[in-house]
Amino acid sequence: MSLQFEKVDVLIIGAGLAAVTVALHLPRALNVLLVSKHELTSSNSDLAQGGIASSYLEPSSVDHERDTLIASKYAAVPDRVYTLVEEGRTAIQEMERFGIRFDRDGSGYAVGREGAHGLNRIFHVGGDETGRHVMATLRRKLPDNVTVMEHVLIDTLTKTGDRVSGATGFNGETRLHVQAGAVVLATGGIGGLIDWTSNCRSVTGDGLVLAEAVGARLTNLSRIQFHPTLLAVDSPHLVTEALRGAGAKLVDASGRHVMEQHPLGSLAPRDAVARTLTDHDGPVYLDTGRVERLGERFPKLMATCVAHGIDVRRVPVRPGLHFHMGGVDVDAFGRTTVAGLYAVGEVADTGVHGQNRLASNSLLECWVFGKRVAAAMVVEETPFTVNETIGFEVSDDLFGRYRQQIGEWLTISPQVGKIASFLENTQQLALTKHVTRQLSEQTLSLQAARLLARAMMRTEDTYEQDRFARTAEGVST
């Protein structure tokens, strides 16, 4: 196997908005390498149909802060939420300076409203294709000191003493060693571990595995969000929440509003809507009859419905895995518990989402905390030590069966028995030092799934202990 060696100041693992924001804001004197696991556009940021939430047009960030905390079930960290929404007030202007052109109407910015927001504060670009347009524009602005490499799989972080000193992986099928003064994890979430997800299939929790292997603390891994409206066809497609903000309603086969019992109706928080749709007996549709200028405002939805032969006036939907609130524990500047290692975006647990993320706060989080990571970056040259990579020796057929098992328990209502069975089965996997790119990629996926499974088992154990204690005290559960 051929070997490639790179020496840089900063290695950024990921290619979505979090990664690109860091790269754009680092000093130009630094030599930066940004690597993407597959094509550069295979990030969740590129898929984002919702926009960017910002109180830019409001007198203050107070209402945005309140909505974020309420959606989080008051489990978000208040000072981190304040950082997000207050620094997010200037995000729109900052992005415009990089060439982003937000949608406008006759009166100014065409801001929309989404679930659990009390006001219209969602900024879009190109209707329901915000992510694609934002990412295309910002990637064109990457400066000359940033080298971009596609089809790079990072499977191990290297550590010298107490500090992360680089990474190893594959550039195509070539073994790659990267020495770096600092490493940024911007690998996204976990949705690609299962089939029914709004995420890119390549987003499989790699950053969690990489961080855990070098001793970084992971937190709140069992906090997983299911989006209520994925197109109910053979392959999932996200149906943006902005459609409900524009007047669409969730109805059953007879036309009854299925969210009529909730005070916010179809614009209730995502977890509440997803739970209602999951428990509902029968199909659910988005009735778009009240949405004005549907084709102009939602071109991606129109094209997707036409391609699948769906009547856009009555769009069939069902919930699917969407976002991971937990992740690598970081401070307010993206520093992990290991020197030289930073995390930003969905892979990080910044504390701003709590138990349920507010719609369109994710791209905002990438921008706000990506800038903070760049501002706090400390680059320190450390001798490079290669850590030997070990992978699971697993056939494609066996990996497929394990992936199917993951889909059975990584649901809105996980069953402890299925989680335990998966952990027991994968515990028996043999290890090999003869690692190929394919084996390495499969190993990362299974290790990420095992991290989630163990976290969910701990959560279920805690819940059962609490339920037992409350029952013993005569408190109804």
How crowded is the C-beta side of 464, counted as CA atoms within 13 Å? 8
Q: Please give the C-alpha separations between residue 39 and each of 45, 180, 269, 332, in angstroms, as whole numbers.
A: 13, 23, 33, 30
For residue 187, tell me if it sits in a domain: yes
* Residues 359, 216 share a domain: yes
**Which structural domain, as residue segments, surrounds residue 403?**
391-472
Average pLDDT, rounded, for the chain: 94
CB atoms within 10 A of CB 379: 17
pLDDT tens-digit readout, 243-299: 999 999 999 999 999 999 899 999 999 999 999 999 999 999 999 999 999 998 999
Task: Decide if pLDDT at 461 tops 60.
Answer: no
For residue 265, tell me if it sits in a domain: yes
Structural domains in the chain (count): 3
- What is the Cα–Cα distance from 140 to 387, expressed in whole angstroms? 35
- 344 close to 182: Cβ distance less than 8 angstroms: no
Q: Where are the beta strands (DSSP E) in 298-352?
A: 314-324, 327-329, 341-343, 348-349
- 69 close to 118: Cβ distance less than 8 angstroms: no
Task: Decide if pLDDT at 467 tops 50.
Answer: no
Dihedral of CA 446/361/243/275: which sign? positive
pLDDT classification of 385: cutoffs 50, 70, 90: confident
Q: Identify the residue with better confidence: 464 or 378.
A: 378
**Residue 283 is part of a domain; what is its CATH number?**
3.90.700.10
* Residues 144, 37 share a domain: yes
- What is the Cα–Cα distance from 85 to 66, expressed in whole angstroms? 10
- 334 close to 369: Cβ distance less than 8 angstroms: yes
Task: Decide if pLDDT at 463 tops 70.
Answer: no
- What is the Cα–Cα distance from 78 to 353, expressed in whole angstroms? 10
* Residues 127, 87 share a domain: yes
SS3 assignment, position 238: strand
**Residue 438 is part of a domain; what is its CATH number?**
1.20.58
Whether 270 is catalytic is yes
* Residues 343, 201 share a domain: yes
- Closest-CA residue to 206 (of 192, 220, 224): 192
- 53 close to 81: Cβ distance less than 8 angstroms: no
Looking at 132, 270, 318, 357, which residue is catalytic? 270
- DSSP state string for 338-384: SBTEEE-GGGEE-SSSTTSPPTT-HHHHHHHHHHHHHHH--------
Beta bridge partners of 287: 249, 314
* Residues 410, 342 share a domain: no
* Whole-prediction pTM: 0.94
Last residue of a domain, one of 341, 376, 411: 376
Structure tokens belonging to residue 91: 């995000």
* Residues 65, 135 share a domain: yes
The dihedrals phi and psi of 403, each to the nearest 5 degrees, come to -60, -40
pLDDT for 1 equals 67
First-last CA distance in the chain: 59
* Residues 214, 139 share a domain: yes
For residue 342, tell me if it sits in a domain: yes
